[in-house]
Amino acid sequence: MVVASNSRSVQRSGGDAHRIAADGSGNRRVARYDSAHAPRAEGRSSTFSIAGTHPLTQPPAVTRPSLVTRTARRLAAHFRTSRDRLQRRFTTIYENNEWRSDESASGVGSTRARGADFQDDLVALINRWQISSIVDAPCGDLNWMRNVLAQREIDYTGIDIVPALIERVSRAHSESQRRFLCADMTRDDLPAADLVLCRDGLVHLSFADARAAIRNFQRSRARYLLTTTFVARTKNADIPTGEWRVLNLEKAPFRFPPPLAVIDERCRHSGGIYRDKRLALWELAAIAV
Ligand SMILES: C[S@@+](CC[C@H](N)C(=O)[O-])C[C@H]1O[C@@H](n2cnc3c(N)ncnc32)[C@H](O)[C@@H]1O
């Protein structure tokens, strides 16, 4: 660990250093911190900056979110789970193998056999949409995803909130174009990438936390989001973060537009009750949450 001025710390993970700083709201910004990749402009851009005071200079348009937007944001922040609670909950799940798989810390949905059902389609999608960098949030233990990375060279950043898990995957899987960060996908600043892959992530979060994660992906300036959705469901139910339920992201309260592309995970276990499970692709800019 290296300490840097103007930031809380620089953490080393997977051969790269990452700066973690605190902003006014207690959120952390995480940025890659090496000479080749200078950290990008600081987190949330201010919409209230005042400039152009010269009488001949046209002042820039000041865009202020409406009262409704500001109230909705305050309410959403109120219902979000704190970082500490999120981290404690998922660390307990990890330490006690609560998702009950002998093979993967990420549960029975993350075995190599499950990955084999759709990983060729994932590689084809990466090629078809000319994806050259991925942020995998959450990455879990990389149990099936490592087979995709073995098939297709790509710049890859794995994100998870459980420190022990990130230490483990960093030790086992870091390479020059592959790194891992312990971060909270609902609030920490994520590295920019062509694609955010969020498989089996939002399904464990409350509506408020899932919305926060989606907005955080948008803030990362990634172009695309590839994420889990169950296309045959007509309704979504809220849960406390840390539990699990199916989500159809095209239904309320998310109301995503029709996806650009869909991968059928060919999920046939449990008598086929999850056979509508898909990884679907959206342009993040087209999502309003
Ligand atoms: C079911 S696993 C899925 C992992 C991987 N995407 C896969 O397909 O195997 C869910 C993971 O989400 C992580 N997680 C939950 N909330 C998170 C958050 N707010 N930020 C980052 N990771 C989170 C958990 O620690 C866990 O490793």
Taking the C-alpha atoms of residue 203 and residue 245, their distance in angstroms, rounded to an integer, is: 6
Give residue 242's pLDDT: 96
- The Å distance, Cα 140 to ligand 1 centre, comes to 5
Residue 128 Cα to ligand 1 midpoint, Å, equals: 26
Pocket flag, ligand 1, residue 200 (CB < 6 Å):
yes
**C-beta 86 within 6 A of ligand 1:** yes
In a domain, residue 212? The reply is yes
Cα of 160 from ligand 1 centre, angstroms: 6
- Residue 287 exposed, middle or buried by CB count within 10 Å (0-12, 13-18, 19+): middle
Confirm whether 211 is domain-assigned. yes
3-class DSSP state of 274? coil
Could you tell me if the CB of 201 is within 6 A of ligand 1? yes
Q: What is the pLDDT of residues 109-146, one digit of tens each?
A: 999 999 999 999 999 999 999 999 999 999 999 999 99
What is the rounded (10 degree) CA torsion for 218, 30, 280, 113? 180
Residue 55 lies in a domain: no
Q: What is the tally of structural domains in the chain?
A: 1
pLDDT at 69: 80
pLDDT score for 62: 61
Instruction: For residue 20, tell me if it sits in a domain.
Output: no
Atom 10, ligand 1: which residue's CA is nearest?
A: 201
Please check whether residue 62 lies inside any domain of the structure.
no
Ligand 1: which residue has its CA nearest to atom 9?
Answer: 110
Sign of the dihedral defined by the CA atoms of residues 240, 246, 252, 258, in that order: positive
- Among residues 248, 226, 227, 228, the alpha carbon closest in space to that of 237 is found at 248
Q: pLDDT under 70 in the chain at which residues? A: 1-62
The answer to whether position 52 is within a domain reads no
Best residue among 98, 160, 216, 277 to mutate for probing ligand 1, ranked by most atoms within 8 Å of CB = 160
Q: Provide the pLDDT for residue 114.
A: 97
Cis peptide, bond prior to residue 258, ω within 30 of zero: no
Give the domain extent around 198: 83-286
Alpha carbon of 63 to ligand 1 centroid (Å): 35
Q: What is the CATH number of the domain that holds 129?
A: 3.40.50.150
pLDDT at 173 (0 to 100): 97
The answer to whether position 198 is within a domain reads yes
The residue whose CB lies within 8 Å of the most ligand 1 atoms, and thus the one to mutate among 89, 204, 207, 239, is 204
Within a domain: residue 256?
Answer: yes
